[in-house]
Structure 1
């Protein structure tokens, strides 16, 4: 297979970046023509790279999950303090808008696609590693699991579609900081129910 030309790769990256922004701002049904306009490419260029909306959505979500995984790896490598690595990861994951984009996976397309499954598993592995390091250091309460973190991250970083993102970050990071304070030991209360595991999230998906 011949390698794609550099300009074709740049166009693809522009389309994915524009789609990510517009999906967050307006939801997954935003017209593809508007995405092409924001990416500064022609409509035909969008359809040449992405056969339909579901393919573009999958590409955007995979891109965000992959970048979030990379940020987790960087936090683990660069932060000596285990809980600071977790704190850093949570805030950069919010900046990637992962909470706004992952709910789009409930759409009618192949959620078991190999690319999507690979990106999801890599992200889950990195989140588990970040949490395990903090837990082993005695800094993370023991009655929570990966699912608890992912659910909270999704809920606290999801703006309402159509509302735009103006000044949204100031509230996201403020509320994430409150949430993170609640994860540290010693625990100040007993949590109701049981910890949410990845298996619990997959069953409810």
Structure 2
């Protein structure tokens, strides 16, 4: 009896370098325009800013939700990497936390988070994994600062994220460019208030990320 010959397995072709660059350009352009104009910015405009055709956008992202999700995941992963780098490079625990907070503000998380609406799949595995990584690095940075006696004990990750979200969102009636000049100044004022020993007693209890998600 002749031995059974199995057909050779077909390898999934790797994306070409130019295809990967196009995808990165689309995500970068979408992040800029979603931050500037909100979730309803036309995909045609995003394609134009990215320097690609409409067909290229739809080939990479079948619908608006897929593109927004990719942008949010990208921003979360960038802030996670910033936190990891801060932990690795800063000997001072509070300095590492400060560095992470300022980078998070620059990523404009406050402008992107509202786009995760009721119709958005918050349980999508990519988004859930990116969120978990970001939450983990925030907790690690804060735990390290608390262990060093530099961060007050009555604050939680949710408190820090609210500060970043509120201060990186332009106040009503102001232009984004104008508000940008003051973001890091005001963030530093709040960060100084997070230092231990605390100058006052806070009401309530430290806010967790889970509490921040509750409607």
Q: TM-score, normalised by structure 1?
A: 0.95
1:190 pairs with 2:169:
no
1:117 pairs with 2:159:
no
5+ residue gaps, structure 2, are: 1-11
1:129 pairs with 2:114:
no
Q: CA RMSD in A?
A: 1.6
Q: Report the equivalent of 2:34.
A: 23
**How many pairs align?**
204
How far 1:192 sits from its partner (Å)? Answer: 1.5
**CA shift digits 1:5-38 (9 cap, x unpaired):** 1111101000000000001110011011110110
Distance in structure 1 (CA, Å) of the matches to 2:31 and 2:118: 16
**CA shift digits 1:68-112 (9 cap, x unpaired):** 000000000000000000001100111111221122112512110
Question: CA, structure 1 residues 33+162, in 2 after alignment: closer, same or farther (shift >3 Å)?
Answer: farther
Distance in structure 2 (CA, Å) of the matches to 1:66 and 1:189: 34
Comparing 134-143 with 165-174, greater Cα deviation is found at: 165-174
Q: TM-score, normalised by structure 2?
A: 0.90
Distance in structure 1 (CA, Å) of the matches to 2:173 and 2:64: 18
Tell me the secondary structure at the aligned position of residue 106 of structure 1: coil
In the alignment, is the contact (CA less than 8 A) between 2:171 and 2:179 conserved in 1? no
Q: Report the equivalent of 1:53.
A: 64
5+ residue gaps, structure 1, are: none
Q: Report the equivalent of 1:66.
A: 77
Distance in structure 1 (CA, Å) of the matches to 2:122 and 2:93: 33
Could you list the structure 1 runs, at least 4 aligned residues long, displaced by more than 4 angstroms after superposition.
160-164
Distance in structure 2 (CA, Å) of the matches to 1:61 and 1:163: 25
Q: Hey, which of these two has a bigger chunk of helix by percent? A: 1
In the alignment, is the contact (CA less than 8 A) between 2:122 and 2:128 conserved in 1? yes
**CA shift digits 1:149-173 (9 cap, x unpaired):** 1111111112379976324332111
Tell me the secondary structure at the aligned position of residue 72 of structure 1: helix
Rg larger for: 2
